[in-house]
Amino acid sequence: MNMQQVIKMTAAETALVDAYTAQLGDLPGNGAVLSLRDTLVHDLKTAGLPTRRVESWHYTDLRTLLRSVPAADPSAFSDRVEAVVTGSSVLSVRNGEADIKGLPDGVTARSYTESLIDGSAAAGLSVLGSDDAIGRINGGLVRGGLEIAVAEGVELEAPLELQVVQSRGQAHTRFPVSFGAGAKATVIERHLSTDAEPSFVSSVSDVTLAEGADIIWIILQQQGTADTHLGQIRFDLGRDAKLHLFVINAGGKLVRQEIHGRASGEGSDLTLRAINLLGGDSHTDVTFTLSHDVPHTTSSEIIRNVVFDRAKGVFQGKILVAKDAQKTDAKMACNTLLLSDDADLSAKPELEIFADDVQCGHGATVADIDHTQLFYLLSRGIPENKARAMLVNAFVAEIVEELEDDEALVEALEGVISAWLEKHA
């Protein structure tokens, strides 16, 4: 007799399915959205969370690592916090509730809850293949977020901070954001916790750049030490569009940040810079894919990891160059400082190239602090702990300094990094 194998759900899988069931009559959405939610949660229930047998999750066995999920807590409340860059326009989502006061000129926004209710969000709830656990969890449980449009030709003078604040329990948010032709803006997608209690957070940003848009997008993840953060950003670059994407992971116990993009317009360019600050017994995974679909596109990725204590880090990067994408120029590098015998970093850079007239390359390095440099600082009378902190800070500060055109932004991000290093180094 052929019987379908029944997989016993883990405590975390059960908690996620139970969270959906408990909110079934309260989750926003029209008939089409609710039907999609049912399908996504059913798929989660039958397939389970991904294990190391799934290639894209090989270094982050989510089914094993995610041991528990806190229940959704409707009573949780968080105040808006100060913007990371003084003078920014702040749009906040606090425990799922959106606040869109203070929109700058040329920017329109509405609560993603409204998009769920009228059904316009249905098309965006699709998953990126059978391995997209983040899309599945978020699509099934998303309650709020912000739908934002920056008009054609608009240049924002101050950063726009999308602030996701969670005090405890669960938060599932979505950010569809479109930039019109020629738009210029700096956006800070900031995730943080205001409570020591565990939080489970999923967030998906879907970003579209029209022709000639020039955007800086910063993901600043500052969850608590007991929190799980599952983040995903999807982007599509139009003709001559430029996206400068910066990712800083400076928190969380279990973190998976996925970055999935397409260079679909000729002349488009992606610059990805990531800083992963890992300490304690945390596990942080940055997984990146970029598809160069058309000729004359460029991309550059530099990932810097600093790993203390018993922390484990993962970087998976895959660049795909289509057959028609001649003259592609793509470079990827992952550099890591391992500062403990118990620390661990797994790096897997890949190139998949079907065009024959391209310039593509990748590399990865793992090292300790340069002892010659350390000796030099010690010989100048600098205490060893301070000397080590200076060298670590220099290793990552080089990335932030690429934003030199905005001194306030550089200063703010360097402050975040310094504060983390003071606490952990």
* pLDDT over 60 at 3, yes or no: no
Instruction: Give percent helix, percent strand, percent coil of the chain, each to the nearest 5.
Output: 25, 40, 35
Predicted confidence at residue 4, as pLDDT, reads 47
Distances (CA, A) of 107 to 157, 175, 181, 182: 12, 14, 13, 14
Segment 131-141 mean pLDDT: 97
* pLDDT over 70 at 269, yes or no: yes
pTM of the model: 0.94
Predicted confidence at residue 376, as pLDDT, reads 77
CA 304 to chain centre: 15
DSSP 180-237: -TT-EEEEEEEEEESSSS-EEEEEEEEEEE-TT-EEEEEEEEE--TT-EEEEEEEEEE
pLDDT-derived band at 387 (thresholds 50, 70, 90) equals confident
How far, in Å, CA of 423 to CA of 425, rounded?
Answer: 6
- Three-class DSSP category at 167: coil
* Gyration radius (Cα) of the chain, Å: 21
If phi > 0 it is left, if psi is from -120 to 50 it is alpha, else beta; for residue 312 that is beta
* pLDDT over 90 at 73, yes or no: no
Average pLDDT of the chain is 92
How far, in Å, CA of 152 to CA of 375, rounded?
Answer: 54
Distances (CA, A) of 68 to 11, 37, 192, 256: 6, 22, 20, 16
The residue that leads in pLDDT, 168 or 208, is 208
Percent of the chain with pLDDT over 70: 97
pLDDT-derived band at 422 (thresholds 50, 70, 90) equals confident
* pLDDT over 90 at 196, yes or no: no
Segment 28-44 mean pLDDT: 96
Predicted confidence at residue 424, as pLDDT, reads 80
Q: If you search the block for the tokens 């790993």, which residue do you land on?
A: 307
Q: What is the tens place of the pLDDT at every residue in 157-166? A: 999 999 998 8
* pLDDT over 90 at 176, yes or no: yes
Segment 176-202 mean pLDDT: 95
* pLDDT over 60 at 6, yes or no: no
The residue that leads in pLDDT, 125 or 375, is 125
* pLDDT over 70 at 5, yes or no: no
Q: What is the tens place of the pLDDT at every residue in 270-319? A: 999 999 999 999 999 999 999 999 999 999 999 999 999 999 999 999 99
Where in the chain are the domains?
A: 11-265, 369-425
pLDDT-derived band at 373 (thresholds 50, 70, 90) equals confident
